[in-house]
């Protein structure tokens, strides 16, 4: 079991593709009222285009061995924000450690290569993510809607999503 710093060092040592930086929780600046700091867990930031290669690299590295993709999702932080966050959560069965990964996907062109080649587990998550946020996962073997009906319009988990007035004649109000 490794803590985040050790994992990050190792990531740098193996030159994990697309690795950008680490983001650790920190105290807020007492001087600056707008900066409240950040709580929670630490994560690494990666390049979304290299997500698949990153996953394969950390999966195949013996010291990291993140062999399970626990979660793949996205976050729409704000209406004004220019990016979606692509959140990945990895789990290592052998070492019992986790890694949270974040990638910034521009809202203007939300296209990410599919991670199915790295982890089959990504398949359903990608489908859900695609329908909920409108992020396209290129190379997903079955890119249909999974939870929503096939003819659903809009991407419900976007912050600017407008609730439909009716669906097939059924009033939603």
Partner 1 sequence: MTEINTPPEPPEAKTIEIPEKARTLPSGEREFMLDVSTSDLEVNMGPQHPATHGVMRILIRTDGEVVTGGQVHLGYLHRCAEKIGENVEWLQYLPYTDRYDYLSAMNNNLGYSLAVEAVMGVEIPRRATLLRTICAELNRIGSHLIAFGTYGLDIGAFTPFFYCFREREWMMALFEKICGARLTYSYIRIGGVFNDAPVGWLKEVERFCDVFEEKWQEYYDLLVVNHIFVQRTAKIGVITPEMAVDYGLTGPMLRGSGIDFDLRRDMPYMAYDEISKAGVYDVPLGRGEKGELGDCWDRVYVRVQEMMESIKIIRWCLGCIEDGPVIGDIPKVLKVPPGEAYVGIENPRGELGHYVASDGGKVAKRCRVRGPSFCNVAVLEKLLPGTFLADSVAIIGSTDVVIGETDR
Q: Does residue 125 touch partner 1 according to CB under 8 A? A: yes
Q: Does residue 142 touch partner 1 according to CB under 8 A? A: yes
Q: Does residue 70 touch partner 1 according to CB under 8 A? A: yes
What's the CA gap between 98 and 72, in Å, rounded? 13
Q: Which of 67, 107, 139, 154 binds partner 1 (CB under 8 A)?
A: 67
Going by C-alpha positions, the residue among 110, 117, 108 that lies closest to residue 134 is 110
Residues 6+ away with beta carbon under 8 Å from 147: 128, 131, 132
What's the CA gap between 169 and 151, in Å, rounded? 14
**Two tokens at 105?**
């996907």
Q: Does residue 56 touch partner 1 according to CB under 8 A? A: no
Going by C-alpha positions, the residue among 42, 41, 49, 64 that lies closest to residue 18 is 49
Q: Find the shortest distance in angstroms from Cβ 47 to partner 1.
A: 20
What's the CA gap between 110 and 95, in Å, rounded? 33
What's the CA gap between 166 and 148, in Å, rounded? 15
**Two tokens at 150?**
């096939």
Q: Does residue 68 touch partner 1 according to CB under 8 A? A: yes
Q: Among residues 13 and 78, whose Cβ is nearest to partner 1?
A: 78
Q: Which of 2, 10, 98, 107 binds partner 1 (CB under 8 A)?
A: 98
Q: Which of 38, 82, 106, 167 binds partner 1 (CB under 8 A)?
A: 38
Q: Find the shortest distance in angstroms from Cβ 93 to partner 1.
A: 5
What is the binding site for partner 1 (CB under 8 A)? Answer: 1, 25, 36-41, 43, 67-71, 73, 75-78, 87, 89, 91, 93, 96-98, 100, 119-125, 128, 132, 142, 144-150, 156-157, 159
């Amino acid at each position: 079991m490794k803590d985040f710093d050790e994992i990050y060092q190792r990531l740098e040592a193996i030159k994990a593709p697309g690795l950008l930086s680490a983001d650790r929780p920190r105290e807020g600046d007492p001087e600056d009222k707008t900066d409240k700091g950040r709580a929670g867990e630490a994560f690494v930031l990666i390049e979304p285009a290299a997500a698949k290669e990153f996953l394969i690299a950390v999966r195949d590295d013996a010291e990291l061995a993140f062999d399970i993709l626990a979660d793949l999702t996205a976050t729409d932080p704000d209406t004004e924000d220019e990016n979606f966050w692509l959140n990945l959560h990895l789990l290592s069965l052998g070492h019992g450690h986790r890694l949270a990964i974040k990638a910034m996907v521009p809202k203007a062109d939300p296209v990410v290569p599919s991670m199915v080649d790295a982890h089959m587990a990504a398949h359903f998550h990608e489908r859900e993510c695609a329908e909920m946020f409108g992020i396209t996962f290129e190379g997903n073997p079955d890119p249909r809607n999974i939870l929503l009906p096939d003819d659903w319009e809009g991407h419900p988990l976007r912050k600017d999503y407008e609730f439909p007035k009716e669906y097939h004649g059924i009033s939603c109000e």
